[in-house]
Structure 1
Amino acid sequence: MINPAKLEEIAKQITNNMPQGVKNLADTLEGKTKQVLQNKLAEMDFVSREEFDVQSQVLIRTREKLTELEAKVVLLEQQLNAKNNAE
């Protein structure tokens, strides 16, 4: 999931870049900004890096297996054609 420390850092950057007159509202705004960011990110369909890496490995293994099966099908088709031609 999203690192809460990163969300806090983003909220602080937004607050720090405000004009001096608005900084009096910084505490309230920072809290609201974090809340809005967390709510919006929670609505999005993200996967963790770990889950992404696991699924990537599954895909690699699946592709390897598919390549093996394709080669076997080609070999079997060649054997079948050779048998049919011999008859």
Structure 2
Amino acid sequence: MLPNELFNTLAAQLTQAIPGASGAAKMAQEEIHNNIKVILSSALNKLELVTREEFDAQTEVLHRSREMIEALEKRVSDLEQKDA
């Protein structure tokens, strides 16, 4: 999931388009800001995004798996050449 700072930044940018004068307008703007954050959070959660750390960990696992497969393929190839 994306950090809270990103939600706050996006929501702030969206609510800047709403003109605010005083008192009630300012409260309405804050309420809209909070609603935008909730909507953004919900929408992004539905995307099932992964963190950078999770992505990097899976990339490393994939890299190690590829190395193991290449080593096993070489070993099989060597054994096949021995038998031939």
* Alpha-carbon distance in structure 2 between the residues aligned to 1:2 and 1:72: 44
Structure 2 gaps of 5+ residues are: none
Matched, 1:17 2:17: yes
- In 2, Cα distance between the equivalents of 1:49 and 1:36? 22
Write the distance in 2 (CA, Å) between the matches of 1:51 and 1:42. Answer: 15
CA radius of gyration, larger in: 1
Aligned: 1:5 with 2:5: yes
Q: How many residues align?
A: 78
Q: Comparing both chains, which one has the higher relative contact order based on Cα–Cα distances under 8 Å and sequence gaps of 6 or more? A: 2
Looking at secondary structure, tell me which structure has more helix per residue.
1
The two structures have a TM-score, normalised by structure 2, of: 0.84
Partner of 2:45: 42
Please, which runs of 5 or more residues in structure 1 have no aligned partner?
82-87
CA distance in structure 1 between the partners assigned to 2:54 and 2:30 by the alignment:
35
TM-score scaled by structure 1? Answer: 0.82
Moved over 3 A (4+): none
